[in-house]
Amino acid sequence: MIATVQYNSRKLQIDLKKPIDLSIPLSASKTNVNAWYLEAPVIEPVKNGKAITSVKEGACINFNNIFFNPHAHGTHTECVGHITEEVHSVNQNLKQFFFLTEVITVAPERLNGDSVISKKQLQFAIGNKKREAIVIRTIPNTKEKLSMQYSNTNPTYLLEEAAIYLREKGVKHLLIDLPSVDKEKDECQLLAHNAFWNTKGQLRLDATITEFIFVPNTVDDGVYFLNLQIAPFENDATPSKPILYKIIE
């Protein structure tokens, strides 16, 4: 199904039959992607005394509790409430869900023993393009990202200068295939988060960061139409399902 979408002053044709799902599903497994020193998610039937609400156990329905952390256990979208004393809900602040998006691939640099993404790299990859959303795929890009246990591994992160560049370029929605845009252990400086959301100035309440995505190698760099789907949690972060659609020229 080919749909024509009026987006700002442009008419875009997108193929709705070929969605590209960037989310990592959540499962009750030790191989579920994980970070921030937490145990694996738990999905289990409700127990009422000896009764277990599982069809397998003789109940008429499956009725599960799910215990997880959106920041640690899979693809999630967060707002500035992640780092502010005042409560800000991503569900209240993200009110538009379709964006013109650029997918870029970056080979992180080495800096003082860390793996980082710099302003120069983003400038080279994005050029003079104007996009509301940027999807960053880091390389190497292997399927191990779907089950990686990131705690105490010091993963790749964005330099503060890179986050400032994205903010000043007008990028409102940053999506990345890492557990965080910041260094795992940085004494709570959170330089990239603070820079992107402009916490020293006018807060960017409608800007979001989506972490723990996975961009298949079959997806080429370039422009796409993004549907940023979120679960309606009144929280600083929520599980999300970013979907890309190819734009037909």
What integer best gives the mean pLDDT of the chain? 96
Q: Does some domain include residue 102?
A: yes
Q: Does some domain include residue 106?
A: yes
Look at the chain and report how many structural domains it folds into.
1
| pLDDT value for 8 | 80
Q: Does some domain include residue 191?
A: yes
Q: Does some domain include residue 185?
A: yes
Q: Mean pLDDT over residues 26-36, rounded?
A: 97
Percentage above 70 pLDDT, the chain? 100
Q: Does some domain include residue 213?
A: yes
What is the per-residue pLDDT across 115-125, written as a single tens digit (0 to 9) for each?
999 999 999 99
What is the per-residue pLDDT across 230-245, written as a single tens digit (0 to 9) for each?
999 999 999 999 999 9
Among candidate residues 178, 166, 163, 182, the one with its CA nearest the CA of residue 213: 178
**What's the gap between Cα 55 and its chain centre?**
34
| pLDDT value for 81 | 98
Give residue 89's domain range.
2-25+70-246
Q: Report d(CA 124, CA 186) in Å as an integer.
A: 27
Sequence-separated (6 or more) residues with CB below 8 Å from residue 223: 100, 101, 102, 103, 129, 131, 247
Q: Does some domain include residue 64?
A: no
The kind and range of the H/E element at 160 are helix 160-168
What is the per-residue pLDDT across 64-81, written as a single tens digit (0 to 9) for each?
999 999 999 999 999 999
Q: Does some domain include residue 233?
A: yes
CATH of the domain at 202: 3.50.30.50
Q: By CB neighbour count within 10 A (0-12 exposed, 13-18 middle, 19+ buried), where does 210 fall?
A: buried
| Phi-psi category of residue 200: left, alpha or beta, with phi > 0 → left and psi -120 to 50 → alpha | alpha
Q: Which pLDDT band, with edges at 50, 70 and 90, does 228 fall under?
A: very high
Q: Does some domain include residue 56?
A: no
